[in-house]
Amino acid sequence: TADVHRRGRFLPYDRTVIDCALLDRKHHQHSTVLAPFTTEGPYFLPDDFERSNITDGQKGIPLELTIRLTNGKDCTPISGFFIHTWQTNATGIYSGIDEATAPLSGFRPPPVSSDRSFRGYQETDANGEVKFITIIPGWYSGRAIHIHIEVYAKDITDENKITYIGQFYFQRDWPLRLRRTSPYSSNQQPMVFNEQDYYYVHDHGDETTLDLNRKGAGFSAYA
């Protein structure tokens, strides 16, 4: 179904979580639903790198994020699609852009450096999956902790060919937990909780909130 107010179109999903076990495909069951469509925001850079580890050595609480694309009608995996992700570092800063001027230029600001930390993309495999090695991001003014994703059917970043735009959120207490831990403790930006975030509230962020599981010194999550 097209959304005339936002670029791109929906994947074949709706906001109904089906039981994949009924189709003998329970291993494709989602813990979050890639719906509804949300905003791209002003900080996406289309010249990111194809890679799994997007940290570029920056510090933070490790997060292994596996994203699975599944056809919501029959629970079959969607392979050969391209998933881009971008997020802030631990102190709430996006790489490669000038955050002071980027919102003024609208979507997709011109890059100001070659730094592409916490940005990357991958092609979904036969199981419809990609895996990103990252960290739990920091917060910044007006926004709760979140991770952006954008999906394309081809290896392009044409803004008119976007298949899906989404954001993953974290449980409400994470800013309070992170502010005592370096390097998050040096984040001087105003702390924002989920219920204070416009996009979380109005775009049903509770449906794309990640469930984190302990893994080594960090966490893993499936979406």
Residue 36: CATH number of its domain? 2.60.130.10
pLDDT at 55: 99
What pLDDT score does 1 carry?
A: 25
In a domain, 3, yes or no: no
Question: What's the DSSP call for residue 107?
Answer: S
Q: Which pLDDT belongs to residue 76?
A: 87
Instruction: Indicate whether 68 belongs to any domain.
Output: yes
Within a domain: 7: no
Q: What pLDDT shows up at residue 39? A: 84
Per the domain annotation, does 196 fall within a domain?
Answer: yes
Nearest Cα to 94, choosing from 139, 51, 47? 139
Q: In Å, what is the CA distance from 59 to each residue of 90, 134, 214?
A: 7, 9, 18
Assess if residue 1 is contained within a domain: no
Per-residue model confidence (pLDDT) at position 157: 92
Which burial class, exposed, middle or buried, applies to 203 when counting CB atoms under 10 A from its CB (0-12, 13-18, 19+)?
Answer: buried
**Domain span holding position 95:** 20-222
pLDDT of residue 100: 78
Listed residue (64, 56, 52) closest to 124, CA to CA: 52
One-letter amino acid of 178: L
pLDDT of the residue at 133: 99
pLDDT by 10s per residue, the chain, length 223: 223 233 434 444 444 444 565 555 555 555 445 556 788 888 999 999 999 999 999 999 999 999 999 887 787 899 999 999 999 999 999 999 998 777 665 678 889 999 999 999 999 999 999 999 999 999 999 999 999 999 999 999 998 899 889 999 999 999 999 999 999 999 999 999 999 999 999 988 998 999 999 999 999 999 8
The verdict on residue 14 lying in a domain is no
Q: Do 98 and 164 form a contact (C-beta atoms < 8 A)?
A: no
Please report the pLDDT score of residue 4 as a whole number: 29
**Structural domain contains residue 178:** yes
2 occurs within a structural domain? no
Q: For residue 115, what are its two tokens?
A: 């730094």
Residues in the chain: 223
What one-letter code names the amino acid at 67?
I
Give the pLDDT score at 167.
94
pLDDT reported for residue 5: 36
Structural domains in the chain (count): 1
What pLDDT is attached to residue 105? 58
How many other C-beta atoms can be found within 10 angstroms of the C-beta atom of residue 161?
13
Please enumerate in sequence order all residues whose Cβ is within 8 A of that of 57, keeping only pairs 6 or more positions apart, or say none.
Answer: none
